[in-house]
């Protein structure tokens, strides 16, 4: 990871609107470094990992409102299960960097933390998981461009994934995951997830965050129930807005002198996103946390669908859900939690999909969800139940 970061930082700037053809300076130089490393890993995998360079054009205010050529790189590790192979779990970092002025390619923009660190995490996950692949679902290790010009590469990736006929099982965005300067490091990496828009049922992104915390442990992950930091955005956002499960990993406490700053010294303060501020112990932990979450999620059966809660104004809660055939599935866990609780608990087990009656359980005092469990012990993300119809307590019309 250290070598890869050093090489891409050596490209001077990786501003998306810098040169794609100059092999020594600009984003093309960074792209070459990453593609070469992924191809090396692909070779070591005996050809199981496939590297795809996706070229496209995007337009935004930060491309001067003109279409600009861009590239994303995807390393794809196909799933071994026929039915699950069209489900993808994605880890992504962004190749591009920026200086104080996001329109000036002549300024240096080392971007060691933002986001060479995320690129290194994505590439390291490719290395770790392609050595002896076990994934039933497909894994994509992505390195995208255009983040700093308006999440352009990631917005394009949402479309690309759909065009390939993939269903997104989960998207892990790693952006600014390289530094942990406070005493006592390594600290927990932050994991941001948006609420969603359905009353009484969290978004699939929140459920992805819960699954990752459960896999990696509370000592490793600090869940933040918020789509992102205030005033900031990231590549998980286009996925989240499309209703797909997507979360963002970010270091514990950011130093804004070291982000989006042209390297310089001013009044005794050093500005710039430089390699010397990185903490490789912390970053290695983040890479392993991502890889282990991807490994387990890609081993799990498909998440249930159509999870419903009925039984309002009765003494029993009724939960129903659907699921396709999967002979490697052991069954389902019915989950519940207090409405004030952050995390699920297992309420009961069910062998097959359909309806389960929770005797003597009120619909009103808990939230409910269902997840699938494999014979290998791997669990899908939880699918919260939605109330099919919840008549509002309207006042009776005046006569």
* Cα–Cα distance measured from residue 134 to residue 43, given in angstroms and rounded to the nearest whole number: 18
Contacts of 215 (CB under 8 A, 6+ apart): 292, 293, 296, 297
Least separation in angstroms between residue 276's CB and Zn ion is: 19
* Cα–Cα distance measured from residue 204 to residue 147, given in angstroms and rounded to the nearest whole number: 23
Q: Which helix (H) or strand (E) holds 37?
A: helix 27-44
Chain-centre distance of CA 120, in angstroms? 15
Q: Which is nearer to Zn ion, 81 or 175 (CB)?
A: 175
Least separation in angstroms between residue 2's CB and Zn ion is: 19
Specify whether the backbone of 7 is left (phi greater than 0), alpha (psi in -120 to 50) or beta.
alpha
Least separation in angstroms between residue 256's CB and Zn ion is: 13
Least separation in angstroms between residue 147's CB and Zn ion is: 5
Least separation in angstroms between residue 309's CB and Zn ion is: 39
Q: Contact positions toward Zn ion, by CB under 5 A?
A: 114-115, 175
Q: Which is nearer to Zn ion, 154 or 193 (CB)?
A: 154
* Cα–Cα distance measured from residue 162 to residue 365, given in angstroms and rounded to the nearest whole number: 38
Residue 224 bridge partners (DSSP):
192
Contacts of 330 (CB under 8 A, 6+ apart): 373, 374, 375
| Number of residues in the chain | 399
* Cα–Cα distance measured from residue 290 to residue 387, given in angstroms and rounded to the nearest whole number: 33
DSSP 341-359: -SS-EEEEEESSSEEEEET
Q: Which is nearer to Zn ion, 99 or 201 (CB)?
A: 99
- Say if residues 158 and 242 touch (Cβ distance below 8 Å): yes
Order of strands across the sheet that contains 354-358: 354-358, 317-322, 305-310, 386-387
Q: Which is nearer to Zn ion, 177 or 335 (CB)?
A: 177
Q: Which is nearer to Zn ion, 114 or 207 (CB)?
A: 114
Least separation in angstroms between residue 194's CB and Zn ion is: 17
Q: Which is nearer to Zn ion, 114 or 228 (CB)?
A: 114
Least separation in angstroms between residue 248's CB and Zn ion is: 10
Q: Which is nearer to Zn ion, 163 or 256 (CB)?
A: 256
Q: Which is nearer to Zn ion, 147 or 207 (CB)?
A: 147
Helix (H, G, I), strand (E, B) or coil at 195: coil
Least separation in angstroms between residue 131's CB and Zn ion is: 28
List the alpha helices (DSSP H) in 85-179: 118-130, 152-163
């Amino acid at each position: 990871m250290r070598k890869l970061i050093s090489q891409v930082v050596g490209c001077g700037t990786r501003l998306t609107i810098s040169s794609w053809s100059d092999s020594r300076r600009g984003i093309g130089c960074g792209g070459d470094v990453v593609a070469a490393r992924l191809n090396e890993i692909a070779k070591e995998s005996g050809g199981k990992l496939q590297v795809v360079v996706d070229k496209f054009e995007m337009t935004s205010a930060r491309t001067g409102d003109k279409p600009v050529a861009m590239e994303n790189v995807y390393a794809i590790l196909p799933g071994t299960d026929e039915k699950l192979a069209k489900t993808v779990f994605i880890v992504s970092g962004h190749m591009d960097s920026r200086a104080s002025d996001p329109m000036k390619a002549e300024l240096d923009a080392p971007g060691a933390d933002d986001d060479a660190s995320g690129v290194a995490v994505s590439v390291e996950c490719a290395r770790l998981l392609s050595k002896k692949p076990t994934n039933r679902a497909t894994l994509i290790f992505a390195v995208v461009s255009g983040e700093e010009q308006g999440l352009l590469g990631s917005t394009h990736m949402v479309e690309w994934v759909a065009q390939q006929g993939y269903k997104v099982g989960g998207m892990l965005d790693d952006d600014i995951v390289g530094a942990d300067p406070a005493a006592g490091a390594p600290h927990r990496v932050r994991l941001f997830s948006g609420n969603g828009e359905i009353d009484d049922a969290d978004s699939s992104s929140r459920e992805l965050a819960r699954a990752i915390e459960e896999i990696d442990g509370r000592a490793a992950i600090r869940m933040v129930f918020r789509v992102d930091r205030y005033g900031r955005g990231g590549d998980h956002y286009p996925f989240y807005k499309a209703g797909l499960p997507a979360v963002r990993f970010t270091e514990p406490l950011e130093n804004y002198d070291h982000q989006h700053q042209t390297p310089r010294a001013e009044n005794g303060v050093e500005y710039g996103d430089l390699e010397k501020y990185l903490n490789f112990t912390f970053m290695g932990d983040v890479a392993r946390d991502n890889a282990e979450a991807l490994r387990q999620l890609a081993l799990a059966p498909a998440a249930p669908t159509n999870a419903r809660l009925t039984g309002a104004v009765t003494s029993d809660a009724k939960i129903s859900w659907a699921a396709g055939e999967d002979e490697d599935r052991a069954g389902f866990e019915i989950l519940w939690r207090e409405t004030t609780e952050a995390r699920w608990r297992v309420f009961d087990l069910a062998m097959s999909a359909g309806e389960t009656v929770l005797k003597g359980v009120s619909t009103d005092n808990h939230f409910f969800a269902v997840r699938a469990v494999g014979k290998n012990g791997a669990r899908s993300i939880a699918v919260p139940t939605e109330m099919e119809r919840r008549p509002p307590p309207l006042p009776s019309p005046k006569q």
